[in-house]
Structure formats: C-alpha cells, structure tokens
Structure 1
C-alpha cells in the first residue's frame, strides 16, 4: 500500500454521503480507554459541527454550506493524541484546513470555545471555513486554507521566534519557553512547489523545533490516488536533512503480522495498490477473507491466518493504520530528534470511523440523518443533544482539565514598537534613484533613532547587493543562530561583508520568493505572539512580486505586518527586456487588503513613505506596505523640496497621504498631468514643452494611488479614510482635462479623472516589453515625452 498525492484545487461540490456497504466499524481497539473516549467525542463533535451547518441550520436559499467530515475524521486520532499527550504551552500548531472542525472540537472540550459557536461553522461571524488566527473566536496558532502555506508557516514562525530570542526587547519578555512548531498537513499539500522551496532552504535544516505530521490518507478530491510514492517523498525529506518517521501500522495489525503467515499479510498490504486497499475497506469480514489472499504464492498462508481471526478483530485490524493508533503515534513522537526538523508520515483512512470511510468520493460528502443517528448510537451521543461535554469528575474531564492547564499560555505582553521618526532631515541632491534611497534611509534611521533601527530586520532572496542593501548589510550584519566565520573578512576586494552572527539584522534566504514573504509575515507577527514587535522589510525584484503575492497576502490575513519592496521595477529595467519588466504590480498594490502601497518618484519621497510605513508596523491597528522602487536616475532638484520647515512638513504629509502638486501653472490650467514614480521626469518635460505651445499644465506627483482611491471612496461614504488630500491636489477650481502616466498598467490611475469628472487620457504599459535603451523602450510603450505631449495636445487642442 503506497501513499497519495494532490487533490485538484477546484472547489468541491457538496455530495451526499456514499452508501455504506456495511455497518460502520467499531472505532479501533487496544488503547487507553480515557483517551479513546475523548477521541470518540472529538470525532462526534467535529462531524456534528459540519452536520449542523448543512442539515440543521436554515441556509435557504443559498447553496450547501459545505465542510469536510471525512478529512476531519482522518485527523481525529492524530490531533487528540497530540493535544492530550504531547503539546506544551510553548508549542504552536498549524492545522490542515479541512480539519478545522477537529480543532474547534478540541478547543471546546478543553474549555477554550463557548458552546454557542458550535452551531456557527461557516456562518457570518462564526467559525471560519478554515482555521483563522485573526477571525476565529478560539485559539488558532496559524491561519490555513491556501494549500501549502499553512504547512510552511510554522517554519517561518520558528525562524521568527529564534530571531526575537537573539534580539530581546527589554520591556517585553514573554516568559514563554521556545516550543516545537507543528504542521499538520494533508498528503496532497506535498504537491505544492512552495512546500519544497521551504524544505530545501539551507537554513531550515537547522530548525530542530519543526515537526510535520502528514495525514497520509492516499485520497484526493475525486479518487484514490494510485501512485503516491511514499518512499520517494520520505527520501526527499531525508535528503534535505530531515528526520523521517513513518507510522504505517497500528498495534492490531502488528499483532497479526507477528503470527504465522503474518509476514505474508504485511507483504500483501504493502504491495497492494492504493485503490485495492481502499476498496477492501468497504467489505465485511467474510469478503475480506475471500479477497485478501489473492492468487499469489502466499495465498494459502493468508487464508490460514485470516481464518483464525474473528470477524470483529479482522475488520478492526485491517483498517488499523498507524495514524489511528495512539500507541503507534506516541512511539513516533518519542523518536523526535530536536536537533533537526522531523516529518512523521502517519498512514490514515479518509473518513475513519464514518459511514463514508475509504470511499473515493467522500471528500465533501455529508452523512445523512440516518448515518448521523447510527454514529451517535455507536459513540454514545444524541442528535437531540449533540454538544455534550464529559461530566465533571469523570476521568475524561480530569484529563482534559490537566491538558488545558498544561497548555495555558502566559498573556502576551502589551508592547508598543519604538517611535519611528517621520523625517530624518536630509535633502538629497544631484542624481539619485528611489532604490538607492532605500539603503540610505535604513542607515540614517539607525543613526537618528537607534531603538527603531534595532527593530528593523531585512530579508531578501539572494539579492541584497543588487537591491542596494549592501551598505545596510555591512553595517548591521547577517543574522544567524550561531556565529560563523567570515572567510573573506581579510580580502581587500570584498565589498559586501558577510558577517553572520546572532546579532545580525539581515536574513538571506535562497532564491524563493514564497519563502521571503513567509518569513516576513511571521517576523511581522511577533508583536502579537510574544509581545516583541519587529519592523520586517522584504526586498525582491518587482517582477517577482506576483509570484510571492498569495503567501504574502495570506500572511497579512493572518495578522503579519510587514513591508514588501519591489525593486527594480517596470519597463525602466530597459536593458533587462520583457522577462524582467513588471506591468501589473502598481494595481496589485492598490488592490491588496491590509496594505498601503507607495511608488515614490524622488529619494526624499521614498524616505518619507518608508518611515511612515515602518511607523504602522507592530501594532493592533497597524498595516503592511508595498513600495515599488526604481533604478531610474532622477535629478533630485526636480522635487523642489521647500526650504521653509512648515512647507517641508506640509509636503511630507502630502507624500505620505498619496500625492502632491509638484508644478502649479499660472492661473487656471489647460491640463493636469498626473505622473507616478519613474515617469516624473517625462511629465515635467512635457509640461514645459506644452507651455511653449501656449498650454499651461499642472503636474501632480502621485505617491500612492491606493490612498487616493481610499480618499475617493471616503468622499462617497464608502471608506473611513481621510479625504482632504483630494482637495489639496485635485481642487475643483483647477479642474482640467487629465493625462495620467506611469511605468505600469494605465488603469492604476484612471479613476482619478472621476474626481472632478474631466476628460482624460491614460498612458502606461499594456504589453510585454523589449530590451533596449531607456528612451527606446519608453517610446515603444508610448510613455516617452513625445508621446505625452502628443496625447496632451489631442486632449486639449
């Protein structure tokens, strides 16, 4: 019996439960009776939570609510054994998405969830479809739901925990010991490339607190997967430096294997295809005796062995896989080597203990009322009173109380991040680009506000020097759990000094953007986990933001606050060609919930936007940020920074709020040119040329289309954001035809024309790029100065 791969990620339709070909089996035998009773209650509650949401609660006229009774059932023994016997207060657990009802059932029995919530699965304001750290009412350590992301999150949680231990905040000691970081995942999640990107990162092999438990049920959404290759998967983990612990068979099967003919039975089960094993689960004992022996050389020995086993024992033993045997699981937990990450392959039956167990279409099947009644009878429960806890004073209640006491965590200290200055006082001159301003701002912040600077942690996927972090890395060093020798320290030609030590503030990962955003998401959650706020900044090439977007978005959903910086960006990467030219990222930033996006044009704009973004991190009302930076050289005199302190502060506030009027025409303008980022030079040149032809133009420099859109929505009563910035830069008495231009998709700024309902033309990038010099590439996309002037004349003449 090998083991499975992935289900399709298509949403499942709710199907009726497949008819059972026999009465459901008794839940397996030799076990701790108290734990067994608790396990039965967890199975019942998790199944009943889904049943109530679909069959009992009135959901008319909508579709079925859904839920995954079979996927939950396969995890019941694993999770009950883990919570009752293994977990400690310092441990964290990421629960596979479809097993969320099991988590809620355990939290309910442990006293961490009120009974009123058990009827609210997938109801508005109730228990979420999948575990949610920010939305569920009970304790959830990691939000899951997007396949593979929940599996890897505890790895980055372990990294973040180690980082805060080496950078302690004196006013925020959690008092909580470093614990293990568990991931409970379905075997299908191993098909996700992001999982292997994480497993293979060299840093991960040092994280001994990582424990993955794989629910190896060998089923996907629609079928039994024929060729899983469990041995191959185990070899891949071992090659990456992980300890591999298979838990294939339980005590009942092992006892049969020890009898005469037992070797033949083990061989038969090991070698049979997954679909054949799953089909046998649906037969009664007589049919098992007829079908298991087959016609091979061991057939007679198998008939002899099976004939000596009573029906009930045979039926229970055949489905007695290791993932359903607390004793086998306990032995596996005892083997965990805390010096390296561990993966436990726990063989299970999907739908174990339910009428649907082992059926290839049980993924989203729901038990019928009759099947629920039979389950209740077998487990000593009632459909009329489904939410019974164990009576006070019973051994089960006592054991649950002991577990709840053991799992009680200290309160998270209420800690505020250090104040971040809003202006570092420098006024850049000469020619510079916004990417170089990133490194300069971080160095200046360290000098001006060392407490805030000490909380900054930068992360990059092997692009530190090419994203202008070299000076910062030289200053603060590279983080490592233990100090490592810098073998090039005495090389005079070495420009980037790679000093690895526990006090370092830069984390360098391999080339995998999903790992980068996973790491900054967890680094950005330390304020709410342990009361130690960090200011994490992830830096990557902007074309690869889309590759990282889903896990970063999921990290934000889970409460992680971080800054993602995409640089260099746009077709301004002219010589790099179309493969490295980002087009959609400006609008992605605008649309991403929980995030404020900036695309500054000047170095000082970058400083102000970055400082404002840092100031929003690590707090209950905080938010993440995305900055899109460029390598385009820009004359900093064009920024026309006011010398008067009050005027400078006014400009800073406008930059942080979304934009400012950079060039003001005399009188009422004939045109408003709105530019963002690298195209500010062309916008100003176009305004000068238009003035020479008798057309006056205001030039507005947009720093955040995101904040301007929120202001527009607020003006219409659809958002609570401030909207005063609109009156400052798009005053109705200066309304004129509008031309917008940016190094990205033109629809990003198109909404601005609606503020004063003016005719408009929107220039930007809508097709894959070409390699070439900057002006040729701009001309190719119609965003060069000539194109701006021509479009402006068409608009106003």
Structure 2
C-alpha cells in the first residue's frame, strides 16, 4: 500500500505516542476532575483501557494507515482516537474538554455524533468489532456492481481481548463469506484484563488456534525488543520459559513490584531459579522494571513489522500483548478499568510524558519532527470528497389491479421485488437482499432466480438441469442476493453496513434483510446499533405472531410490534393485504440510501387472507388516497351506516377477525367502524405531533379516527396488546386492548386465536362490554 510513511519509525513514533497517551489521559481527567459537575453524577472514562492502545494506534495511524483504510476502535479507547484526530488537525483544543458532555465528544466512537472522523461506531461490545467484516463485504459488493467506489484499502478492527467473549464475534468469524476477505485485519489488545479482574486462564494460544481453524493468518506479538534481547543472554531461555508458564494474574503482579521485589519474585521456585537469579541480578533497576512492561503491543518495531507482514489473501488477526494502564500509576492493577488518576498522579504523568498539566492541549512545536510527522500523516490520510449520489426515486405504486383471491403478505414481498425489476429496473439494480438461510421459505425464491446470488467468484449450479429444482443458485459478482449462515446477528450486521455505502463511498444501495420474525429479538441489538451508526435498510420479519400456529410457541413472536414503535431511526409497518404490503415496501425503499433517510421494519404473515376484503377503490384518485393512508399509518376499512357504536382497530393478520366481528355486531344493533392499522408507529408519531411533542404530520388521525365518529374502541393485534393502546387517547374514549400476552403453543388457527382471546368472538364480547356496560 502507498504512503505508509516509512520515515515514521523508532524514536519519532515513540515521541508521538507519549503525546497521544498524555492527551487521551488528560481528556478523561478534564471531564471528571476539572470540568464543573453540579449534579455530582459520575462522568467516567477509561484511562487504563486507553493507555494499553496508544502504542498500537500510534504505529497504525502515523506509520502505516492509508486514506483508503477504515478502522473500528474499541469503545473504551475513544479518547485515544480523539487524541490522534486532534494531532491531525480535526479537533480544536476546546473540543478536547467536551468528552461525555452534551453535544461534545461521545463516550464511545460514533460516526454520526462525534465531531471528528470516526469510521465505525462502537460501544456495544462485539458488534463494533465485527462491523469491518461486513464493511469489507459491502465495499466488495458495491465495487462489483457499480465500479470502484474507492481504493480497496484495509478494514481494521481494534478490539479488546475481553470482547472475544462475545458470541457475535465467533458467529461472524465462522460465516463462509468471511474467509476470503483479505482486506480485514483485527488487532487484539491482549491486556488480559476485563472490567473486574485479571483473566485467570492463559487463553492466547487457544485463541490463535480458533482463528487459524477459521482460515485466518495469525500474527502474535508477545515480547518486545528488550525482552528478546534478555532471552538471548545466559539464562534467557529460562526467563522465557518462566514467563510463558506464568498465569496472567502472577504476571500482572510483577508490574506492581519494586526492583527489589522483582529480583525476589521473578526467579520463582523451579530448577532454573539460580540461572534466573543471576540474570536479573546483572540488570540495573531501570532495565529490570522495563522488562515485564516490554510486550509486543508496545514495541514500535514489532508493531510496524506485523502490519508489514499482513497477508492480503485472507483475514488477519494480530494478537498484541499489552499492559492495561501502560505507563500510568494504575498500570497492571486488577481494578484499574475505570480508575481515575488524582491530581498528584496526573502531575507525575505529565512530567513522565513531557507534557504540562497547566497547558494540557499544547501542540508540538512548529518545525519539530513530531509536528512534521503529524502534518504529513494528516495529508496522507486526507480523503477525497464523496460524490453526491442518491438512489433513483421509487415509484410509489405499480398501478396493477388489486389482487383477488387468497394470498398473504409474505408472498407479496417477493412479487413486489419482481415487479420492481420489470417496471423500475433502475431502482431494482440498487436492491440487495440478504437472509440467514431462509430465502426460499420467505418467498424470495423468484427474486433470487432472477438476480442471482452475489459471490466474489462465479460458481457452478450443479442442479440447474434438475427439473424438480425450483431455486437456482447462480453465483457471480453481479448477483444481488447475499446468503449468510444461520446467524441473525450476522444478517443485521451486514444489513447495517450495506446501508452505509451511500455515506462511506457515495454509492447508495437499497438493502433488504429477511428473517423469521420470532428472531427479530435475537437480532435487535446489532440491528439497532446499525441504525445508530447510520445504516439505512429494510428489515422484514416473516412469518409473525401466533398466526404461525402449527409452529408452536418457540416460533411465535409477541413483542415485535412494540419494538417497531420503540426503535429510533426506523419506521415500522404491519400490512394486512398484498397491495398494502407493496405500497409499504415501496415507501420504505424510498426512505433509505440518502441524507436524512430512515430504516424500516416490515412485519409480515403467512396467514391466507381473502384479498377482496381490502376493498381497494378502482377510481385512480380514490386508490391514490388509499395508498397515501396506507403509507401514513392506516385507513377506515368499514364505515358504520350512522355514527358507530364502537370502533374496531386491527392490524395485520387479524383484520379479518375485526371485519367478521363488525358484521355480527351490526346484526346485534351495534354498527362498527373498522380501522385497518398499517403502521402503529406512524400513528403514534402523529399523536405526538398533534401534541407538539415531535415533528410529525397528524392529518392521518383525522382520516382514520375523525372526531365526529369517536366511539368506544377495541384494538386487536397479533402481538402484545399495548401496541395499539395509545389509540384510545386520540379522543379519550373507553378502550379494550386485545392481543397476545403469553407464550403460544401449537394448534389450529381457530384454537390458538381462541386460546389468546383474539378471535372474532372475543372481539364481539369486548365490544359489547364497552357499548352495553
């Protein structure tokens, strides 16, 4: 790679690293000890976690990084990233005083909230660490489909060893798509400490074997140049063996020892005690104290050499041994994770690092070699401005005649995608679908047959001539479907990165991820985190609810309708009919891939429904009015002849129950309005907008719940009943909410609906209780 700055070696990098360490430590100090804090609430920060990363990050940024590279920085090292960005001219001195302040530097790196350059948001342990995997895959896909958006570059992930406890890391590592991503480099800050303790087991060798088994190149940086020199002396083999056999806690204890204590402890009690005692006796105090701290993750030549040894044909992991709190008074202490230095300690650190406590943000002197290196690095890492690019507008309606007969909303998903490929090819070419091994069972088969599967290499479909094969697995770099293994965390991780290509490389995609709705909860954290990081995409959960009756309770989603309302940066839809699904999906695609865009969640069903119940108007103007209502949150599906005695508001698969109940209520003398809710989320926003609590249009409320037709209300949803409970507040009417509050079980649809009290009989009973008292 070009522009690696070979002149930035040795003493010069070490000098810059000392300033990075000072700045990162002072940023946290100012936030906690200097900045006024009238509430007394702990601000926090991680001086020790930052100190273990300063050597790694200095070597990378000032020695080897290029403008094409992207880096994910472990959450607790955010002060180091800000310190580096300050030296590169991306922050003003006063901004260093705003860590964890409102509108200031974020607690953890955020590409959407921090004022300085951040490539990947981190913070949720394990999620930010894996993001560069999916970022690399997204870059390749964009490159294959639309040409080179930027030089390939490397995708770095700087993560703490404790993050490797997260299952998301190993789920990502094992996905077949990852093995060929040679641009991916993970650097593990192997300080062998977690939040509360020194990790007791010695696991690095085991970690190396796990990475190697996944096909990764493993580079281990255990010892620095001083220790390697000591190993070459008489007794050095014994010293190496002694250190290698130590437990992590015993080694950490050495860091807290004086020189005299080290001379007593280091030789141990083994057969080589005498040889070790002679070796350490010959060392002066300064050298002896430096030795246990001289690990590979703090040794500049070792770090630069590792970055130069990366094999770009496969993913690489650098296991870099470090000391938590390196160079600070809290160095190596088992409880140093959140420990803050006091004023005396800060003064000593300033002295040790060549800084000044009363002028903490001082720059390198003009004309110094350090200042020149910072300027040269800033220029080398400067990125060209992104081209302005937005996806083509999505036609809001196909114009096709409304479906008749029996169908379901999941089927409509596949049909809508095929419709777009025929009627709006410029939109369809931006669509990328992905699924965790549920492509055929979620009705994406026709779409996949048409667009093919994305793969870096062209594969051979051995079943293409099999007349009984309905799903044709044609793999090529032109494919538009990415198939992952069975891991929902990977799915939404990729979805988030596919949804950032418009802002990373000026190449917008329209990504759609499909998974079983019961597993949205499993994917919720990384999905939410992808949205927080600026990823705009469409997540489809299907099939959903207890309407999936024969599958049993394990496959019945209850809370997901509520999640759709509660998730920031996302609009949720749960349509009841095929045409409603098409309109909602088109509206969702029109929201993403651009500044100010918004992700979407569609909750679909496999329940067969008579499509004529939708009563779609045939008049073009009336049809357009219906479409606008559908995409705004709902519409009135049945009007009572006079003022209604009751309003039935239903969503998704349960709309037929509401309609059936309304007909029977009318026969009992209680005529009802039926409101088909397509987005509880948008209706809730409308109620808040009407009250001035957020910026949201409220016209839809006047159309679905006009004041002159206000009546007692029954709400019905195949999910938790509180999802629609807010509708009663629009006109302050009596309300009964029906839904699912218990785990489901297998059975016929009628039996399951009756068990949960969401069948037509239950709706009628609830309505009669309201109107007859």
The residue that corresponds to 1:8 in the other structure is none
Matched, 1:94 2:68: no
Deviation per residue, 1:223-268 (Å, 9 max, x gap) = 1111041111111111011111110000000000011100000000
Report the alpha carbon displacement of residue 400 of structure 1 after superposing the two structures with TM: 1.2
The residue that corresponds to 2:236 in the other structure is 262
Report the alpha carbon displacement of residue 34 of structure 1 after superposing the two structures with TM: 1.1
- Picking from 608, 623, 626, the partner of 1:633 is 608
Tell me if structure 1 keeps the 8 A contact 2:653–2:718: yes
Report the alpha carbon displacement of residue 389 of structure 1 after superposing the two structures with TM: 1.1
The residue that corresponds to 2:108 in the other structure is 130
Report the alpha carbon displacement of residue 419 of structure 1 after superposing the two structures with TM: 1.0
Tell me if structure 1 keeps the 8 A contact 2:9–2:63: no
Secondary structure in 2 aligned to 1:740? strand
Matched, 1:80 2:58: yes
Q: What are structure 1's unaligned runs of at least 5 residues?
A: 1-29
Tell me if structure 2 keeps the 8 A contact 1:523–1:536: yes
The residue that corresponds to 2:199 in the other structure is 225
Structure-2 separation of matches of 1:245 and 1:254: 17
Q: What are structure 2's unaligned runs of at least 5 residues?
A: 1-7
- Picking from 54, 75, 82, the partner of 1:104 is 82
* Structure 1 residues 114-513: aligned runs within 5 Å: 114-168=92-146, 174=149, 176-426=150-400, 427-513=402-488
* Structure 1 residues 36-51: aligned runs within 5 Å: 36-51=14-29
* Structure 1 residues 639-650: aligned runs within 5 Å: 639-650=614-625
The residue that corresponds to 2:648 in the other structure is 673
Mean Cα displacement is larger for which, 392-401 or 679-688?
392-401
Structure-2 separation of matches of 1:737 and 1:531: 51
- Picking from 495, 505, 508, the partner of 1:533 is 508
Secondary structure in 1 aligned to 2:146? coil
- Picking from 587, 599, 603, the partner of 1:612 is 587
Structure-2 separation of matches of 1:138 and 1:661: 49
The residue that corresponds to 2:4 in the other structure is none
Structure-1 separation of matches of 2:121 and 2:81: 12
Structure-2 separation of matches of 1:592 and 1:149: 18
Tell me if structure 1 keeps the 8 A contact 2:202–2:247: no
Structure-1 separation of matches of 2:277 and 2:554: 64
Structure-2 separation of matches of 1:500 and 1:576: 32
Deviation per residue, 1:403-443 (Å, 9 max, x gap) = 11111111111101111000011211111100000000000
Report the alpha carbon displacement of residue 677 of structure 1 after superposing the two structures with TM: 0.2
Structure-2 separation of matches of 1:791 and 1:703: 22
Structure-2 separation of matches of 1:686 and 1:398: 78
Tell me if structure 2 keeps the 8 A contact 1:31–1:325: no
The residue that corresponds to 1:11 in the other structure is none
Tell me if structure 2 keeps the 8 A contact 1:210–1:341: yes
Deviation per residue, 1:172-206 (Å, 9 max, x gap) = x64x2011000000000000000000000011001
Deviation per residue, 1:738-787 (Å, 9 max, x gap) = 00001000000000001000001110000011101111111110111111
Deviation per residue, 1:277-331 (Å, 9 max, x gap) = 1111011212111110011101000011111111111111221000000111112
Tell me if structure 1 keeps the 8 A contact 2:433–2:514: yes
Structure-2 separation of matches of 1:320 and 1:178: 34
Secondary structure in 1 aligned to 2:429? helix
Structure with more contact order per residue of length (Cα contacts < 8 Å, sep ≥ 6): 1
Tell me if structure 2 keeps the 8 A contact 1:679–1:743: yes
Structure-1 separation of matches of 2:279 and 2:460: 62
The residue that corresponds to 2:538 in the other structure is 563
Secondary structure in 2 aligned to 1:391? coil
Secondary structure in 1 aligned to 2:62? helix
Aligned residues: 764
Structure-1 separation of matches of 2:483 and 2:124: 25
Report the alpha carbon displacement of residue 576 of structure 1 after superposing the two structures with TM: 0.3
Tell me if structure 1 keeps the 8 A contact 2:48–2:326: yes
Report the alpha carbon displacement of residue 482 of structure 1 after superposing the two structures with TM: 1.2
Structure-2 separation of matches of 1:89 and 1:53: 31
Compute the TM-score of the two structures, normalised by the length of structure 1: 0.95
Report the alpha carbon displacement of residue 666 of structure 1 after superposing the two structures with TM: 0.8
- Picking from 681, 687, 694, the partner of 2:669 is 694
Report the alpha carbon displacement of residue 160 of structure 1 after superposing the two structures with TM: 0.4
Mean Cα displacement is larger for which, 55-64 or 554-563?
55-64
The residue that corresponds to 1:709 in the other structure is 684
The residue that corresponds to 2:495 in the other structure is 520
Structure-2 separation of matches of 1:465 and 1:679: 25
Compute the TM-score of the two structures, normalised by the length of structure 2: 0.98
Secondary structure in 1 aligned to 2:179? helix
Query: CA RMSD for the aligned pairs?
Result: 0.9
Structure-1 separation of matches of 2:341 and 2:753: 61
Report the alpha carbon displacement of residue 158 of structure 1 after superposing the two structures with TM: 0.2
Secondary structure in 1 aligned to 2:512? strand
Matched, 1:762 2:762: no
Report the alpha carbon displacement of residue 62 of structure 1 after superposing the two structures with TM: 2.8
Mean Cα displacement is larger for which, 752-761 or 57-66?
57-66
Structure-2 separation of matches of 1:365 and 1:721: 44
Mean Cα displacement is larger for which, 480-489 or 747-756?
480-489
Report the alpha carbon displacement of residue 789 of structure 1 after superposing the two structures with TM: 1.1
Tell me if structure 1 keeps the 8 A contact 2:661–2:763: yes
Matched, 1:654 2:654: no
